[in-house]
Amino acid sequence: MADTDLYWIGIDLANGILSAAMLGGYYALISVGLALSFGVMRLVNLSHGDWLIVAAYLCVTLLAAVPVVPFWSLLVVVPLMYGIGYSVQRFLLNHVSVQAAERRGMSPVFGLMLPLLVTFGLSIVLSQGMLLIFSSDAATIKNDLSFSAIRLSEDLSVSTLRLGFFVAAAVLLGGLTLWMRSTHIGRAIRAASDDPEIAALMGMRTPHIYAVASGVALASASVAGFMVGMSRSFQPFDGPPFLLMAFGVVILGGLGSLAGSFVGGILLGIVQVLAGTYFGPAAQQVSGYLLILLVLAVRPQGLFSR
């Protein structure tokens, strides 16, 4: 009898941790774009969550016009979002960035406020724009994976969709890290985030480099948006909660750290799911915020920040 109890406790824990890790992948995916924007441009992009929803709507629209397997919509939406991210940074955000304010001799406080206000405005424009175009009816990316699960043993299983999130997050973050480390443009992005003035002296055109980084941030946000659309229904005003979620993860992992986003996401997932399993659903949300508070108190720069 005791053995059976122990077995089920173990299975509960294993199921919890497994699904938490998968949830963590989802969180990491949502936050990677925000981490990149902050890490490179020191830009706190308050419209991050709305871009996720924009990407999800783009997928839905595309799939309505061309009914293929949902995954293929990413082939169009990811480059499209890259282009949008590049343009928004190049033609709007570069002119209101911390660096632009510094160049104009404005106070650093104003320099930090300016992009906050602009991205907040962008968030409003995006959500209202989506309301205008798509109305407030809930949309979803229809797929077969939502209710399927992979059985690992008789009592242990994992949601196929969440496994997909986890794999996508790992591949995306691994790929991005490799890209940042081993390509000229990746190295330039890291250099420009360290010291834009000196980066320019190396021949790096920082406006272009920031735009590339922003393009990549939105391209990764579009993968996250696709995943959101696959796993639940969404409406034009659903962006801000994702921004909050991403903020939590980025604070945990360390502002700007890609590896931190991954670990932060998984940590948040594990704490939330275990708290939910053992203390009820109310504890799930509270535990996440408590964890963020704890990290802020003990290690305010985040777990992976140098």
Nearest to 257 by CA among 38, 87, 69, 3: 38
Tell me 149's DSSP state: E
190 touches another protein by CB under 8 A: yes
Residue closer to another protein, measured from CB, 100 or 112 = 100
- Mind giving me the DSSP string for 5-20? HHHHHHHHHHHHHHHH
Tell me 151's DSSP state: E
200 touches another protein by CB under 8 A: yes
Q: Which region among 1-9, 59-67, 97-105, 126-134 touches another protein (by CB under 8 A)?
A: 97-105
Interface with another protein (CB under 8 A), residue from 10, 124, 194, 286: 194
Q: Distance (Å, rounded) from C-alpha 67 to C-alpha 216? A: 27
Tell me 71's DSSP state: G
CB of 266 to another protein, least distance (A): 24
Q: Which region among 71-79, 90-98, 152-160, 201-209 touches another protein (by CB under 8 A)?
A: 201-209
Q: Residues with Cβ < 8 Å from 32, sequence gap 6 or more?
A: 169, 172, 173, 176, 217, 220, 221, 224, 258, 261
201 touches another protein by CB under 8 A: yes
Residue closer to another protein, measured from CB, 205 or 232 = 205
* 35, 250 Cβ separation under 8 angstroms: yes
178 touches another protein by CB under 8 A: no
Give the amino acid at 112. Answer: L
Residue closer to another protein, measured from CB, 103 or 299 = 103
Residue closer to another protein, measured from CB, 181 or 232 = 181
Q: Which region among 42-50, 99-107, 167-175, 280-288 touches another protein (by CB under 8 A)?
A: 99-107
Residue closer to another protein, measured from CB, 33 or 207 = 207
